[in-house]
Amino acid sequence: MLLLVCLFNAVNSSANSIHKLEDLPAPSGHWLLGHLRPFQRGPKHLVLENWAQECGDLFRIRLGPSKFLVSAHPHINGEILKRRPEDFRRHPKISEILEEMGVLAVFNAEDDLWRKYRKPTAEALNLRKVKSFYPILVRKAAQLLKRCGEFEETGAALDISALLRRFTTDVTTAIAFGYELDTLSGKDDHLQQCMEMVFPMVNDRMSAPLPWWRIIRSKRDRQFDESLSTVRGTILQFIGNARERLALDPSLKDKPTNFLEALLSEEQALTSEEVYSAVFTLLMAGEDTTANSLAWVMFYLANYPEVVSRLRKEAKEVYPNLDVPNTIAQHQHLTYAQAVVQEVIRLKPTSPQLILQAQREVKIGHYVIPAGTNIILQNRIAQVRDAHFFQAEKFMPERWLPKGCPVHANHQPDVVRAFGGGPRYCPGKHLALHEMVLVTSVIAKHFDLEMREHPDEIMEAFSFTMHPTEFNLNLSRSN
Ligand code: HEM
């Protein structure tokens, strides 16, 4: 790939001069493999962040034969995200790997096919729909609370990330299929276990220099195939059931009760394969991202008891006699819980970078980006920079409260791209935030949290989404 021209502006002192890719700074690398080895070895986002410290907000790397432009520049990143799907696309390797798994839908489709899927997906997850799903969230939060209570009673260590993945699976399947799996209670968890293999596998295949799995099938590849086939069987069964329901009651077409019914009622009829792809995508995109973000919330709650106290005070004011806030109006009053969630997402975005490709030659400000350029948008760097937030490295939920805090003099929420940006921003954002605020408030109302591990032992790991390494909690009932 040839990246030939880059015109620099304020970021670079040599403004308005023309540069080749080779003129951009690059970290030191291997003559043949380029930067592949360190990229594969460390958590990718941290490796990129270290390189940005060394080279600045705009630099180049080479992963084997593939050259990449890396941008941590918030304005350039915002502009690139906005100019999709016309000028930039997701990196084709993402689609190639997902298509190989039989999935082509809103996350990996481009152009008109993306538009076809984006509309029903965005409609199924818009704020009005999320509010109508609220009773599901309440039921699932109550179940989560019950499970946490069981751990508290026995004194057993709680692998909170695993429990949160069950919570998000139950919520997402209810919304996608209209059927409430009960993985939280340890039942129906086969689908969830199978889905858990997906992200790590996509991540490994994305960064593999060669597609070995197409030639030699390892044990893990075979297990993955089996998991995919289970997921496929389950989803196709749900599609069959929904088709039958719609045939029996055609009025459902005007008022679909879940994503699956909505897809099957689309004017432009979708095939079962297309519906399968769309539902798989929703399950894939909705589970790990939200569960991992919530795992980071729990990490902070365990380390900031004063934040738990304040959350508890708010919870007691907003829903004094209830275990879980059972109306959307109560949920909307949880302003401190919202602030905690925003702060965690800023510091620990589960998608710290996005990998794209230029579809054609594009000018952005003074930059010219040639067609075919591979681009990594590193978004977290700007989110934790003092230029954009007061004492940016610090965990300070107060910065997100509407008023009364000195930190607001330096507060630029626009640079937070944890949910992406532009026309392809995450359509699950409202759902994810509602789930997160609810769980944050409910857990803090009922429990004090203590980590079994020392906080310094917990690292950021990356397997397509960024998550904390495993930690266990001791829970004790609040007074
Ligand atoms: C805290 C939780 C979540 C985070 C941090 C997150 C983050 C993201 C990010 C960064 C993207 C890429 C956006 C872009 O390219 O600009 C994305 C896309 C997407 N997300 Fe989420 N997400 C979360 C939860 C969810 C949920 C709950 C769902 C649905 C149930 C969902 C569905 C999707 C879909 C379908 C896309 C593809 C959109 C497109 O390409 O048009 N996400 N998400």
CATH number of the domain to which 405 belongs: 1.10.630.10
Whole-number Å distance, alpha carbon 361 to ligand 1 midpoint, is 27
For the entire predicted model, the pTM comes to 0.93
CA angle (192, 195, 200) in 5-degree steps: 130
* Within a domain: 1: no
Dist. CA 425 → ligand 1 center (Å): 7
Q: DSSP strand E in 329-457: where? A: 353-358, 362-364, 367-369, 374-378, 447-451
- Average pLDDT along the chain, 479 residues, taken 10 residues at a time: 36 48 85 90 92 94 91 95 96 93 95 93 90 92 96 94 94 87 82 82 81 91 92 91 91 85 81 91 92 98 98 98 97 98 98 96 82 96 95 95 73 95 97 98 98 96 92 93
Ligand 1 centre from 185 Cα, in Å?
27
Q: Please check whether residue 473 lies inside any domain of the structure.
A: yes
Q: How many domains does the chain have?
A: 1
Res 15: pLDDT: 45
Looking from the CA of residue 118, the nearest atom of ligand 1 is 41
How high is the pLDDT of residue 40? 84
Question: Whole-angstrom Cα distance, residue 148 to residue 442?
Answer: 11
Q: With contact defined as beta carbons under 8 Å apart, do 448 and 476 qualify?
A: yes
Give the range of the structural domain holding residue 210, as residue numbers without chain letter: 6-477
CA of 330 to the centre of ligand 1 (A): 26
Q: Which atom of ligand 1 is nearest to the CA of 349?
A: 5
Pocket test for ligand 1, best of 292, 342, 419, 433 (most atoms within 8 A of CB): 419
Contact at 8 Å (CB) between 4 and 23? Answer: no
Residue 25 within a domain: yes
Pocket test for ligand 1, best of 348, 426, 435, 440 (most atoms within 8 A of CB): 426
What local confidence, expressed as pLDDT, does residue 6 receive?
38
Read off φ and ψ for residue 403, nearest 5 degrees. -155, 175
420: CA distance to ligand 1 center in Å?
A: 8
Instruction: Let me know if 317 is exposed, middle or buried by CB neighbors in 10 A (0-12, 13-18, 19+).
Output: exposed
Q: Whose CA is nearest to atom 1 of ligand 1?
A: 290
With contact defined as beta carbons under 8 Å apart, do 29 and 62 qualify?
Answer: yes
Q: Which of 83, 117, 195, 289 to mutate to test the pocket of ligand 1 (most atoms within 8 A of CB)?
A: 289
379 CA to centre of ligand 1 in angstroms: 15
CA of 350 to the centre of ligand 1 (A): 10
Residue 62 lies in a domain: yes
- Looking only at the bridges linking them, the beta strands covering 66-71 and 374-378 are parallel
Exposed, middle or buried: residue 303 (CB in 10 Å: 0-12, 13-18, 19+)? middle
Protein residue with least CA distance to atom 41, ligand 1: 424
| CA nearest neighbour of 350 among 268, 286, 396 | 286
For residue 431, CA distances in Å to 51, 258, 259 come to 34, 14, 13
Expressed in angstroms and rounded, the spacing between residue 419 Cα and the centre of ligand 1 is 6
Taking Cα atoms as reference points, which of 479, 425, 477, 478 lies closest to residue 151? 477
Output the CA 150–ligand 1 centroid distance in Å: 32
Cβ count near 387 (within 10 Å): 10
Q: In angstroms, rounded to a whole number, what is the distance separating the alpha carbons of residues 360 and 373?
A: 9
Closest-lying ligand 1 atom to the alpha carbon of residue 465: 5
Which residues, in sequence order, are bridge partners of residue 475?
A: 449
Q: Is residue 17 part of a domain?
A: yes
* C-alpha span between 173 and 123 (Å, rounded): 17
Atom 42 of ligand 1: nearest residue by CA position: 428
Indicate which residue's Cα is closest to atom 9 of ligand 1.
419
For residue 66, the cross-strand partners are: 63
* pLDDT given at position 342: 97
Cα–ligand 1 centroid distance for 403 (angstroms):
29
Å from CA of 155 to ligand 1 middle: 36
pLDDT value, residue 315: 98
* Pocket lining for ligand 1, CB < 6 angstroms: 81, 106-107, 118, 121, 125, 172, 281-282, 285-286, 289-290, 293, 350-351, 354, 418-421, 424-428, 431-432
How far are the Cα atoms of 166, 168, 250, 305, 454 from residue 152, in angstroms, in the given order? 18, 21, 48, 17, 20
Distance CA 144, CA 89 (A): 38
For residues 247-277, b (16+ Cβ closer than 10 Å) or e, as one string?
Answer: eeeeebeeebebbbbbbbbbeeebeeebbbb
* In a domain? residue 233: yes
